[in-house]
């Protein structure tokens, strides 16, 4: 029986814990805010694709507690936290004791670019698997999650040159997830999929968080809105091309993204960064847009819209956290 540790029991972590649990794996979830409810009742997934299910993995409050439950190493450690600038290094440090064995593969399921860097610094003996997911999921009550529309997971080794060396680890993870009902694709270079997802992530997330508009609302907010979004997407495509991924983001792909948003039911979709903004959560500024802007500057690619959004988003993030600290100070 495969042993799985899931760090980050939010929307993504719980969805993939469900698939692994369904496959018969021994799943242990590290929880924070939903710890008490999950310990008592487990997790409930309400999916328009997979139906409604309640499952009860092992629930712990720390990596150390998880390690104390078993005398053998975990086969896979999944990182499903938000990729914020202040948490990546601390998450990597927290997981290090669980990654001591060459039998343990680290699986990073996070949005953005460069999310693997902090974990690669650990020089762990096992494989590092990077993953890109399309799985609209949200926590609608503590321990209860709503999943809609689609579910896709792309996995590949980091760095890509390790693909052949760690093919068995990729196959093992893919087979487990497929057995549990997940749609999984193995990629020779996972960065191709990261760039593809960045077409929407690097544009719609900042735009909606800054404007406080859902995607369809924004497109209808002014006569220049659609052109602005298209130009921002073209800037992402230019950075991808300069990074060696010339054919990844095509004009057709950009058209499809815009048509998808324009064709939604009113008022459109609220991206995760907009939801985080409303909740005053730390925003994934660096991973979603900062790394793209840094890459553009290093490669001398002009990205005026992305740079502007990055600067403004950094200011918004600072403001949200400053206000949160102030509120916490006076609520004591």
Spans of all domains in the chain? 3-188, 192-331
223-273 pLDDT, tens digit per residue, is: 999 999 999 999 999 999 999 999 899 999 999 999 999 999 999 999 999
Which residues are 6's β-sheet partners? 29, 78
CATH number of 192-331: 1.10.1040.10
Q: Give 77-136 pLDDT, tens digit per residue.
A: 999 999 998 889 999 999 999 999 999 999 999 999 999 999 999 999 999 999 999 999
Q: Give pTM, 2 decimals.
A: 0.94
pLDDT for 252 equals: 94
Task: Specify the fold of 3-188.
Answer: Rossmann fold (3.40.50)
């Amino acid at each position: 029986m495969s042993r799985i540790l899931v760090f980050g029991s939010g929307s993504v972590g719980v969805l993939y814990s469900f698939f692994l649990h369904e496959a018969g794996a021994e799943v242990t979830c590290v929880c924070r805010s939903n710890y008490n409810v999950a310990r008592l009742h487990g997790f409930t997934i309400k999916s328009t694709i997979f139906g409604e299910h309640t499952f009860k993995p092992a629930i712990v409050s720390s990596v150390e507690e998880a390690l104390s439950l078993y005398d053998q190493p975990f086969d896979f450690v999944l990182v499903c936290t938000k990729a914020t600038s202040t948490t990546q290094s601390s998450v990597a440090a927290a997981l290090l004791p669980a990654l001591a064995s060459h039998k343990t593969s680290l699986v990073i399921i996070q949005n953005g670019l460069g999310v693997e860097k902090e974990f690669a610094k650990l020089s762990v003996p096992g494989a590092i698997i990077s993953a890109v997911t399309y799985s609209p999921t949200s926590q609608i009550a503590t321990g209860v999650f709503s999943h809609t529309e689609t579910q896709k997971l792309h996995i590949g080794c980091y760095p890509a040159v390790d693909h052949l060396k760690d093919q068995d680890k990729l196959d093992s993870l893919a087979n487990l997830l497929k057995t549990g009902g997940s749609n999984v694709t193995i990629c020779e270079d996972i960065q191709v999929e990261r760039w593809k997802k960045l077409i929407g992530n690097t544009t719609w997330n900042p735009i909606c968080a800054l404007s406080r508009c859902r995607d369809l609302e924004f497109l209808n907010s002014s006569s220049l809105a659609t052109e602005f979004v298209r130009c921002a997407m073209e800037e992402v495509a230019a950075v991808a091309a300069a990074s060696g991924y010339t054919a990844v983001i095509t004009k057709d792909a950009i058209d499809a993204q815009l048509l998808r948003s324009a064709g939604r039911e009113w008022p459109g979709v609220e991206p995760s960064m907009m939801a985080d903004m409303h909740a005053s959560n730390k925003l994934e500024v660096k991973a979603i847009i900062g790394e793209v802007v840094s890459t553009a500057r290093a490669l001398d690619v002009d990205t005026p819209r992305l740079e502007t959004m990055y600067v403004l988003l950094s200011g918004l993030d600072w403001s949200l956290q400053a206000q949160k600290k102030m509120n916490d100070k006076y609520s004591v």
